[in-house]
Structure 1
Amino acid sequence: MQNLGSKGLSLTKRLFKSRAIGSALGFLCIAVAMFPLHPPAWAWALMILNGFIWPVAAFQLARRSTFPLKTEQRNVLLDSFFCGFWVGAMQFNLLPSVTSMSMMAMNNVALGGIRFLLTGWLAQALGITVSVLVFPLAFQPETSTVQMFACVPLLAIYPLMLGWIAYKQNHLLKDHKRALLALSQTDSLSGLLNHGAWKGHLDVEFQRCALAQQGGTIALIDIDHFKVINDTYGHVVGDNVLRQLSKVLNQNLRKFDLAGRYGGDEFCVILPDTSLATAAEIMDRLRDTFNATHYEWEPMMKVSLSIGLAPYSPSHADATFWLNEADKALYVAKSTGRNRVSCRVDGALHPVLSDPV
């Protein structure tokens, strides 16, 4: 309900500008066409109300409505009705009539597609019928030079304005699409890439390494005894530890490294074009930095990391095999005392090891 209301209010604000400008330009077009017909005073008053008062009234009706979108749709149908009414009142003067109905059709299509266009045509037909009942039935399609020039502003300005609104809306939708894409790829707790997004980047990195024959290294990171932290200090503290690790990753990795939350208390990093030795140095510094973290809410708490590294190898059939190597290296780090970096190359433990001081 709130989303519908928000959507309706946004539409109302956009249509107010187009309706206000379109009605004012339409007033000029219709008034010049009506002038030779010597309409009564009430018709002039209605033209002024329709051209300058109605846009404000329509905006207020929609803005204060519980369902602004539906109210705005009714407002646009009233616009169509008025358009048909003035076409009949102008005795079907060709250019002003076609101009007014074309601009109205453009509005209806933009708002609701073909179905709303057809509904708008019915409203215009009703307006013409009422006009024929009010004014003497006549058909004078001739358009004078003055009347032709009076239509020019509506023909030139209104489509340009609608095009600008459509451009801004398209730009806004692109921004929303980018934001939604980023949101769909982001872990809500850590702010890093989520599991699926990181795996997608890993597949891309694997293909790049295979084509370029340039190595990269991946790391799997596990927070030591994280379950004990949750059980002892509570899940709020546990979540803060996860956020702290994501902060340390953001501050200590290079700009082109890709960090993500693999799941639970496991994190993952892609280090492109990075040798195993360099990756071990980076991860060891990161481990030391995280170990030194002071938690104000739990001053006595110390948290360490176990890290498994695996470099790209042509022997890997796909990215899953590469990731499996890092997972096995992480298992070694955890099973040999934790708080260390372990490395595997082509299925064997590598001598580049990091032990806690």
Structure 2
Amino acid sequence: MIIKSEQSIKFVRSSYGPRLLALGLGFVAIASALISLQAPWWVWLAPALHGFVWPHFAWRRTRNAADPAAAERCNLLVDHFAGGMWIAAIAFNTLPVVLILVVAGINSMAVGGLRPFLRGMMVQAAGVGAGLLVYGVQWQPVSSMREVLACLPLLVLYPLAMAYVTRSMMLKFRQQQRELAYQSQHDSLSGLYNRRHWDACVQAEFLRCQRTGEPAALVMIDFDHFKQINDMLGHLVGDEVIRRFAHRLRTCLRRTDTPGRYGGEEFCILLPHTTRHDAETLMHRLRKNLQEQPLIKQRAVTVSIGIAALTTDLSTHEAWVRLADQMLYRAKYQGRDCVVAAGVDYPVPEQAASTWQWGQQPDIRAEGHVLAGLESGDVGVALFDPSDQLIWANSVFLDLFLVAPEPRTFADIMHNCYQQQRGPRIECDDIAVWLAAADAKRRSKPNRSFIIDIHDGRYFQVEENSFENGWLLGLFIPYTP
């Protein structure tokens, strides 16, 4: 109700001033005609009340109405009817009559358009008829110099007032447009570009670089153990960390760079005219800045950073973003608080090297019924690291998905299946879109079960299990739908 009341007051104020001016100056014009007619005192009474009392009553009535717009339309009909009566009262004096018709018509047209204007003209005609019954039939259409002079204030000041009101409304409308445009493009917490607008910037830069051949790089950044900050220090501190990090990005980056908030505690940066080496240098400088100037005093806040320079083998901007995201997860896999760039070989962390080696069964905890079929060949199983790199797979999976005998990413495997028409049936014109959808589903639901069909006509029940150091894919065969 409070919001509705504030909106009502704004609407009423926009009509209160013009009505007060128009009716007050309009009475001056009517009074000059009544003087020429030597009208008795009782003829003056109604125009005076309408000119000086009615504007305040109409303002209060509209302000307290449940529907201010409907109340204001009703007020305008009252003005039309009263104006018609004053036309008859002044014996159709030409200049005052023209001003009455024009002012009433402008008000109706401004509030509602053509239909309220036509309705108001019909009500005004009824007012003329009522005025003839009350004041009698008189005809003195010629305006004297006194009446012309009396009409000049309304003739000059009212259009200026309407121009001022129109300009004020236009400025407010432009300001609202700017605010809406800002809100649609920016994240409310960080003040950076939101994911949708940032993605549009990436797409535009991708197309520009394809035409010009200029370098560019994408960066994905994620806080390390951000959940611990929220759990131990509270969500307000977590929000403050996000705000301060966003400010740090704006101060550390170049004017040509485009930072954004990708979602949650994950941030993204578009670096135009930037090679992989330059992007690494810039991100190492950012990490150093965070170490030297901590975001909060309670504990150190570190970030993992993934970099993907634009290359010719990236066919879409979605693939470019996905590659940067994979590098971010590889940075997590490397131990966090580090920078990882696509195309650079990094040493495998000692803990992961002892656990995940190509050709060896990983030491992980997974669903018992999945692992039970590894030796018997009843189940196809594959293990991927956080960057979607294939670490281990049994022979059933390798044969079913036509996997080459060397480490490959999940995207590489599915691209090959799509091209060779082997493995799962992918009903999609763009494999990149399919991969993006599959990745989103896996992240939104770490443990899920679903059915897929293969090009040879068989169906498989799939068990997908994600954990901190990667994810496991299991296929039960055969499955009868």
Pairwise TM-score range, normalised by the shorter structure = 0.7 to 0.9
SS in 1 for 2:218: strand
Q: CA deviation at 1:30?
A: 1.7
Structure 2 match to 1:144? 144
**Contact 1:26/1:51 (CA < 8 Å) preserved in 2?**
yes
Q: How far apart, in 2, do the equivalents of 1:136 and 1:253 lie?
A: 81
| Greater mean deviation of Cα atoms: 303-312 or 157-166 | 157-166
Q: How far apart, in 1, do the equivalents of 2:98 and 2:248 lie?
A: 66
Q: How far apart, in 2, do the equivalents of 1:39 and 1:4 lie?
A: 46
SS in 1 for 2:314: coil
Structure 2 match to 1:305? 303
SS in 1 for 2:76: helix
Structure label with greater radius of gyration: 2
Q: How far apart, in 2, do the equivalents of 1:290 and 1:101 lie?
A: 70
Q: CA deviation at 1:267?
A: 0.5
SS in 2 for 1:219: strand
Structure 1 match to 2:453? none
Q: CA deviation at 1:2?
A: 4.1
Q: How far apart, in 1, do the equivalents of 2:108 and 2:44 lie?
A: 26
The one-letter code sitting in structure 1 at the alignment partner of 2:193 is L
Q: CA deviation at 1:145?
A: 4.3
Is 1:349 the counterpart of 2:347? The answer is no
Structure 2 match to 1:318? 316
CA distance change for structure 1 residues 270 and 294 in 2, over 3 Å: closer, same or farther?
closer
The one-letter code sitting in structure 1 at the alignment partner of 2:296 is Y
Q: CA deviation at 1:67?
A: 4.8
SS in 2 for 1:349: coil
Q: TM-score, normalised by structure 1?
A: 0.87
**Contact 2:43/2:89 (CA < 8 Å) preserved in 1?**
no
SS in 1 for 2:113: helix
Structure 2 match to 1:227? 227
Structure 2 match to 1:355? none
| Greater mean deviation of Cα atoms: 278-287 or 229-238 | 229-238
Q: How far apart, in 1, do the equivalents of 2:211 and 2:45 lie?
A: 76
Structure 2 match to 1:259? 259
Structure 2 match to 1:111? 111
Structure 1 match to 2:193? 193
| Greater mean deviation of Cα atoms: 221-230 or 14-23 | 221-230
Structure 2 counterparts to residues 3-14 of structure 1, below 5 A:
3-14=3-14
Structure 2 match to 1:272? 272
Could you list the runs of 5+ residues in structure 1 that have no partner in the other structure?
352-357
Q: CA deviation at 1:248?
A: 2.0
The one-letter code sitting in structure 1 at the alignment partner of 2:316 is D
Q: Deviations over 1:6-29 (max 9, x none)?
A: 232112212222112212321222
**Contact 1:5/1:67 (CA < 8 Å) preserved in 2?**
no
> How many percent of aligned residue pairs carry the same amino acid?
36
Q: Deviations over 1:195-228 (max 9, x none)?
A: 1111111112223323343222221001112234
CA distance change for structure 1 residues 25 and 4 in 2, over 3 Å: closer, same or farther?
same
Q: CA deviation at 1:166?
A: 1.2
Structure 2 match to 1:94? 94
Structure 1 match to 2:326? 328
**Contact 1:9/1:69 (CA < 8 Å) preserved in 2?**
no
Q: How far apart, in 2, do the equivalents of 1:232 and 1:288 lie?
A: 25
Q: How far apart, in 1, do the equivalents of 2:214 and 2:333 lie?
A: 31
**Contact 1:259/1:267 (CA < 8 Å) preserved in 2?**
yes
CA distance change for structure 1 residues 43 and 318 in 2, over 3 Å: closer, same or farther?
same
Q: How far apart, in 1, do the equivalents of 2:11 and 2:304 lie?
A: 53
Q: How far apart, in 2, do the equivalents of 1:324 and 1:82 lie?
A: 70
Q: How far apart, in 2, do the equivalents of 1:53 and 1:185 lie?
A: 48
Structure 2 counterparts to residues 146-161 of structure 1, below 5 A:
146-161=146-161
> What is the root-mean-square deviation of aligned Cα atoms in Å?
2.4
Structure 2 match to 1:132? 132
Q: Which has the higher strand share?
A: 2
Q: Which has the higher helix share?
A: 1
- Comparing both chains, which one has the higher relative contact order based on Cα–Cα distances under 8 Å and sequence gaps of 6 or more? 1
Structure 2 match to 1:167? 167
Q: CA deviation at 1:182?
A: 0.5
SS in 1 for 2:220: strand
Q: CA deviation at 1:138?
A: 2.8
**Contact 1:80/1:123 (CA < 8 Å) preserved in 2?**
yes
Q: CA deviation at 1:65?
A: 4.9
Q: How far apart, in 2, do the equivalents of 1:70 and 1:234 lie?
A: 49
CA distance change for structure 1 residues 7 and 112 in 2, over 3 Å: closer, same or farther?
farther
Q: How far apart, in 2, do the equivalents of 1:60 and 1:254 lie?
A: 55
Is 1:295 the counterpart of 2:296? The answer is yes
